[in-house]
Amino acid sequence: MSIKNVRAFNEAIRSINSGTAEMSKAIEANTSEIKKIVKAIDNAKEEAKIDWKKVERLGESDRYPLASGSPQSIEVDGAALLLKKLDVL
């Protein structure tokens, strides 16, 4: 091999190594972002856990404790309306 070929080979290896280092930094940054997202999802799942056996079912009088038509009684069943809008019920 001539000296020119060896120098060209070394230059190519250097450029590959620098590209690899940049790629490693990008992968680390993406990995840390993914870990943050996964942690946020796990926290949300933990907060969303409900022991449905302990939840008391509301009767009609509990759900609408105020006289019908009053502004306060409209806000009482907001969760059920939201679930209906989200097509959960």
- Each residue's pLDDT tens digit, 7-24: 999 998 888 888 888 888
Both 82 and 44 in one domain: the answer is no
State the amino acid at position 44 in one-letter form: A
Both 12 and 38 in one domain: the answer is yes
In the block, tokens 């990008």 appear at 26
Both 24 and 41 in one domain: the answer is yes
State the amino acid at position 10 in one-letter form: N
The structure's pTM equals 0.39
Domain that holds residue 75: 52-89
| % of the chain exceeding 90 in pLDDT | 0
Both 31 and 70 in one domain: the answer is no
In the structure encoding, which two tokens stand for residue 79, read together? 């969760």
Both 1 and 42 in one domain: the answer is yes
Both 29 and 61 in one domain: the answer is no
Both 39 and 1 in one domain: the answer is yes
Asked if residue 29 has pLDDT above 70, the reply is yes
Q: How confident is the model at residue 26 (pLDDT cuts 50, 70, 90)?
A: confident
Both 19 and 45 in one domain: the answer is yes
CA angle 34, 39, 89 (to 5 degrees): 110
